């Protein structure tokens, strides 16, 4: 039974990296962004909807203000943004919440409607716990800041010229509507309208997750399968720390409670978490929110070392799609009074911007055949880092890495596999273009391992997943 489970986990991961059958339609069917360059994802998402989201709103003053935006107000602000900045922004909906609210995504980029070939797509997801409200306002202020600064701030201009930033300000708009301003703790509004915790609702690499999948989670899974995000931040509240994968652990629930569960990219994740924490006004001081909660050295922690959880979003992003996601806990108080929003915005502004820039660190390039045509879905991995990633339709790939020497393993059906040594420096990303040559007829090459070694999975049965143990909830 135990062996079968391990095989199941291993196989499901491998399949997940190939074609993601557990995620609905495969990437090819769902990748408008990588097909004709006129059907990028905002247009594709909106084509099935009745209304045009990117409508012109004449003569509306463009302001944001420091108050919370409920769903109607947020929608109005996002529409006003696309109306005022049609060449820098595009609004699309990735689906609807249980109660039918749109899960809005705003793209902010010099190319809002079309993927820029060779340039990374990145994302922020906020307010997946509906009562962790400050994260939602931070996203609206970030959108406002990016569009207003594009013409005056050379750094923002460089960022938007070279990056497509997708911002989902509220993954749980239903929860937000029932949460109460001024409430720092507790669970009112945390869950979706069916009572599910969305950060326990994703497929899990280490343990079986029997929770019924929710529309908000399905929408995000489909989104991640359509667009190859290089880097991601998931914003939360109730603590002040940048927490990085793994969130879950192969150990049983009550064994090694505080043991870290480290990824093969631990150096990169620590670096990303530190970028956020050290650019934040307070986070890197590591002061505990209250006497009963932990402080975090340098303002960062491994997720499982803090408290392990099953079904989290950051492990899913990383293991299934090679997207480096960090969980950013941005406020001790989950839903502080509105007059405190300016302080939170100032504390987080630089972190939010600098974190996204990290998508430009490491290696990127194209995989092509002898004729110079891109090869899609090539399996890639950095040697000794057994979490794989894939090329896009344009043969592009990205991997965030710290300075050093690395080997890239490249594998595609019908081609001779390659292993290429390259160097990463601090100042600029390494461009690495790879040509693959056809394999001789009938010659089969073993596919490299692109999942963490099985020894990482300790031989213990999964805990009953319908039992909610009381852990900190941030
Ligand atoms: Zn949270």
Pair (335, 267) in one structural domain: yes
Domain assignment present for residue 100? The answer is yes
Q: Which residue has the higher pLDDT, 114 or 33?
A: 114
Residue 271 and residue 368 in one domain: no
- Give the Å distance between the CA of 455 and the centre of ligand 1: 30
Give yes or no: residues 283 and 396 share one domain.
no
- How do residues 214-267 score in pLDDT, each as one tens digit? 999 999 999 999 999 999 999 999 999 999 999 999 876 665 567 899 999 999
Domain boundary pick from 358, 387, 406: 358
Is residue 270 in some structural domain? yes
- How many angstroms does the Cα of residue 419 sit away from the middle of ligand 1? 40
Q: Are residues 332 and 299 in the same domain?
A: yes
Higher per-residue pLDDT: 15 or 110: 110
Q: In terms of domains, do 370 and 319 share one?
A: no
**Is residue 310 domain-shared with residue 419, that is, in the same domain?**
no
Q: How far apart are CA 266 and CA 202, in angstroms?
A: 22
Helix (H, G, I), strand (E, B) or coil at 62: coil
Residue 24 CA to ligand 1 centre (angstroms):
26
CA angle 466, 471, 474 (to 5 degrees): 110
Of residues 135, 215, 167, 216, the one with CA closest to residue 42:
167
Residue 110 sits in which domain range?
A: 71-358
Report the alpha-carbon distance of residue 203 to residue 221 in Å, rounded. 10
273 and 204, same domain (yes or no): yes
pLDDT score for 254: 60
Task: Flag whether 268 is in a domain.
Answer: yes
Interval between CA 25 and ligand 1 midpoint (Å): 29
Tell whether 343 and 368 lie within a shared domain: no
170 and 221 co-located in one domain: yes
Evaluate whether 397 touches 391 at the Cβ level (below 8 Å): yes
Average pLDDT, the chain: 86
Q: What is the CATH number of the domain that holds 428?
A: 2.60.40.1120
Q: Of 242, 253, 349, which Cα lies nearest the Cα of 298?
A: 242
Q: Which of 317, 341, 358 corresponds to the end of one domain?
A: 358
Which phi and psi (to 5°) does residue 91 adopt? -110, 130
Is there a domain that residue 161 lies in? yes
- 54 is a domain residue: no
Mutual orientation of helices 134-149 and 71-84 as an angle, nearest 10°? Answer: 10
Over residues 73-102, the mean pLDDT reads 96
CA of 10 to the centre of ligand 1 (A): 29
pLDDT of 406 > 70? The answer is yes
pLDDT in tens, 113-128: 999 999 999 999 999 9
The Cα 247–Cα 258 span in angstroms is: 11
Helix 341-357 to helix 134-149 angle (10° resolution) is 60
102 Cα–ligand 1 center, Å: 20
- 278-334: pLDDT as tens digits: 999 999 999 999 999 999 999 999 999 999 999 999 999 999 999 999 999 999 999
- Structure tokens belonging to residue 368: 């092509």
Domain count, the chain: 2
Residue 454 maps to a domain: no
Residues 198 and 287 in one domain: yes
Q: Comparing C-alpha atoms, which of 436, 274, 286 is closest to residue 358? A: 274
Max Cα distance, the chain (Å): 69
- Residues linked to residue 232 through DSSP beta bridges, in sequence order: 123, 325
Q: Which of 291, 326, 358 is the last residue of a domain?
A: 358
Catalytic residue list: 329
Domain assignment present for 57: no
pLDDT at 28 over 50: no
Beta carbons within 10 angstroms of residue 440's beta carbon: 7
Same domain membership, residue 433 and residue 293: no
Task: Say whether both 336 and 376 belong to one domain.
Answer: no
Whichever domain contains 163, its CATH number is: 3.40.630.10
**Confidence class of residue 352 from pLDDT cuts 50, 70 and 90?**
very high
CA 473 to chain centre: 20
Report yes or no on 16 lying in a domain: no
Summarised one tens digit per residue, pLDDT across range 417-457 is 999 999 999 999 999 999 999 998 888 888 877 776 544 44
Q: How far apart are the CA of 385 and the centre of ligand 1, in A? A: 29
Tell me the pLDDT band of 38, cut-offs 50, 70 and 90: very low
Structure tokens at 111: 């190319």
């Amino acid at each position: 039974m135990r062996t079968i489970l391990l095989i199941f986990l291993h196989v499901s991961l491998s399949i997940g990296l190939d074609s993601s059958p557990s995620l609905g339609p495969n990437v090819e069917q769902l990748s408008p962004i990588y097909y004709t360059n006129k059907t990028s994802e905002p247009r594709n998402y909106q084509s099935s909807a009745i209304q045009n989201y990117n409508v012109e709103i004449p003569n509306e003053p463009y302001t944001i203000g420091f108050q919370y935006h409920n769903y109607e107000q947020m929608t109005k602000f996002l529409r006003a943004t696309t109306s005022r900045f049609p060449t820098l922004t595009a609004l699309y909906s990735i689906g609807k919440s249980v109660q039918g609210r749109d899960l809005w995504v705003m793209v902010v980029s010099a190319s809002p409607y079309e993927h820029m070939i060779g340039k990374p797509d990145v994302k922020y997801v906020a307010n997946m716990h509906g009562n962790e409200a400050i994260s939602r306002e931070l996203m609206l202020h970030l959108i406002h800041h990016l569009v207003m600064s594009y013409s005056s701030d050379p750094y923002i201009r460089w960022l938007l010229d070279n990056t497509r930033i997708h911002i989902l300000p509220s993954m749980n708009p239903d929860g937000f509507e029932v949460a109460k301003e001024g409430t720092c703790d507790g669970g009112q509004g945390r869950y979706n309208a069916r009572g599910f915790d969305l950060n326990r609702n994703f497929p899990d690499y280490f343990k079986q997750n029997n929770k019924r999948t929710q529309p908000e989670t399905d929408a995000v899974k489909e989104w991640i399968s359509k667009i190859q995000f290089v880097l991601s931040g998931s914003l939360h509240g109730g603590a002040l720390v940048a927490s990085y994968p793994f969130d879950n652990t192969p150990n049983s629930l009550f064994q090694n409670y505080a043991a870290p569960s480290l990824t093969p990219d631990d150096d990169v994740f620590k670096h990303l978490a530190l970028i956020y924490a050290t650019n934040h006004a307070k986070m890197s001081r590591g002061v505990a929110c209250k006497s009963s909660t932990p402080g975090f050295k340098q303002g960062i922690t491994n997720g499982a070392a803090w408290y392990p959880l099953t079904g989290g979003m950051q492990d899913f992003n990383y293991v299934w799609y090679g997207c480096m996601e960090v969980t950013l806990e941005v406020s001790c108080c989950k839903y502080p009074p509105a007059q405190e929003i300016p302080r939170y915005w100032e504390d987080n502004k630089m972190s939010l911007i600098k974190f996204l820039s990290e998508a430009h660190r490491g290696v990127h390039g194209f995989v092509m055949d002898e004729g110079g045509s891109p090869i899609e879905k090539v399996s890639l991995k950095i040697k000794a880092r057994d979490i794989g990633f894939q090329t896009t339709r344009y043969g592009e790939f990205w991997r965030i890495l710290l300075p050093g020497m690395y080997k890239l393993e490249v594998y595609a059906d019908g081609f001779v596999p390659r292993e290429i040594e390259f160097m990463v420096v601090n100042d600029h990303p390494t461009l690495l273009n790879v040509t693959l040559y056809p394999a001789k007829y009938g010659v089969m090459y073993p596919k490299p391992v692109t999942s963490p070694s099985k020894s990482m999975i300790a031989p213990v049965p999964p805990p009953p997943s319908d039992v909610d143990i009381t852990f900190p909830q941030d």
